[in-house]
Amino acid sequence: EQAGKGTYDHFMLKEIHEQPTSLSQAIEGRIDPAGGRIALADFEPGTFADVDSVQFVACGTSYHAALYGSLALNQAGVQSTALLANEYSVSAPPIDDDTLVIAVTQSGETADTLTALRRAAREGAATLTLTNVVGSTAAREADDALFIRAGPEIGVAATKTFSSQAVMLTLLAQRIAADLRGEPPADLEALLPELESMPAAIDDVLAGSAAKTVARRYSDSEAYFFIGRGLGYPVALEGALKFKEITYEHAEGFASGELKHGPLALVTPETPVFAIFTGQEDEKTLKNAEEAQTRGAPVIAVCPDDHPAVEVADDHLPIPDTEPDLAGLLANVQLQLVSYHAADLLGRPIDKPRNLAKSVTVE
Ligand code: AGP
């Protein structure tokens, strides 16, 4: 097992550091920045032209990636919703022949997700699985499969598979929107070169040491909150899930604007707030973070160096400047590192957290 970790103490840290490579693999041959197009070989242009609405089904971290994809689709003008697979049997929205149901699952074997996928197929939806595992049940059972090519992920806490899922869903969202409109979305031209430079941007994040310092500074806190807006929202949820999963500390993610509708009652000087800035109404998120700061909470801004939040925040986790569609993914890498270092300081069994399994094959 030690041999598999290479020079890293844990698989999770190794897998966090593999993200520049896993993302390169995910996008290789699938984007054409010079031609301003997305090239998904298995999906001819027009494949999605008849899609009326998209429903995502997924659990845990994959659900957060699915929510990311669903919000990206909505922002591109396509009707879409992300549902927890384990809720799908009681609360699936109506399905017809023009509904596309996308199962997002790293392993392709999650029982809840398989049940939702089967239900969608039974009701007549077109189905597509986004997974890391070729030959998995979800890949075999769906009409189509798209592979994230992240390589094996051993740590129970999903890291590199989340970023590859989210990037692939960003691509897919643009492709579906293009097929529906008959022309590429206006922001695709700006997005593609930024996508191509994501591996290098993640390398920049990994080269910094701020996450370890922040983890140490707030290690005695009572609870940890994560806030984000737009595409920063699923990243806030994912930041909190990762934190609770491997540190066993109380962590929650909120939509920034929701803080004042209840969670603010929990905020004290003992509850650091990680605020994610993605360039989507950042001024509002900054205001929400300041409301927490006024109640004594330290604010850790996850944003580029020249962002106004840096002046206001107590601490700063820097990310390179990029398009709003991708900024949250860079922020997520900083949050993965904070969780990892916080768990390491607490001496937790990072790769195998108590009570959890890598793939959950029961409902
Ligand atoms: C993530 O860190 C967790 N291990 C868990 O939430 C996981 O994402 C979930 O069980 C779904 O797994 P899947 O992607 O294999 O379907």
pLDDT in tens, 85-98: 999 999 899 998 89
Q: Measure 81 CA to ligand 1 centroid, in angstroms.
A: 19
Evaluate if residue 165 carries a pLDDT over 80.
Answer: yes
Please identify which residue in the block is written with the tokens 């580029």: 304
Average pLDDT over residues 282-302: 98
Evaluate if residue 1 carries a pLDDT over 70.
Answer: yes
**Comparison of pLDDT for 185 and 290, the residue scoring more:** 290
**Comparison of pLDDT for 352 and 40, the residue scoring more:** 352
Ligand 1 neighbour 110 (Cβ under 6 A):
yes
Average pLDDT over residues 219-242: 97
Closest atom of ligand 1 relative to the 110 alpha carbon? 16
How far apart (Å, rounded) are the C-alpha atoms in residues 349 and 230?
33
How far apart (Å, rounded) are the C-alpha atoms in residues 339 and 241?
10
Ligand 1 neighbour 86 (Cβ under 6 A):
no
Ligand 1 neighbour 113 (Cβ under 6 A):
yes
pLDDT given for residue 42 in this prediction: 80
Percent of residues, the chain, with pLDDT higher than 70: 99
Closest atom of ligand 1 relative to the 61 alpha carbon? 8
pLDDT given for residue 295 in this prediction: 96
Q: Measure 124 CA to ligand 1 centroid, in angstroms.
A: 27
Average pLDDT over residues 118-134: 97
pLDDT given for residue 3 in this prediction: 67
Closest CA to ligand 1's atom 9: 60
Ligand 1 neighbour 103 (Cβ under 6 A):
no
358 among known catalytic residues: yes
Closest atom of ligand 1 relative to the 60 alpha carbon? 6
pLDDT bracket for residue 134 (50, 70, 90): very high
pLDDT given for residue 45 in this prediction: 86
Closest CA to ligand 1's atom 5: 60
Count of other CB atoms within 10 angstroms of residue 52: 12
Closest atom of ligand 1 relative to the 112 alpha carbon? 16
Evaluate if residue 341 carries a pLDDT over 70.
Answer: yes
Ligand 1 neighbour 245 (Cβ under 6 A):
yes
Ligand 1 neighbour 138 (Cβ under 6 A):
no
**ipTM of this predicted complex?**
0.98
pLDDT given for residue 33 in this prediction: 86
Which of 69-78, 139-148, 187-196, 304-313 has the lowest average pLDDT? 187-196
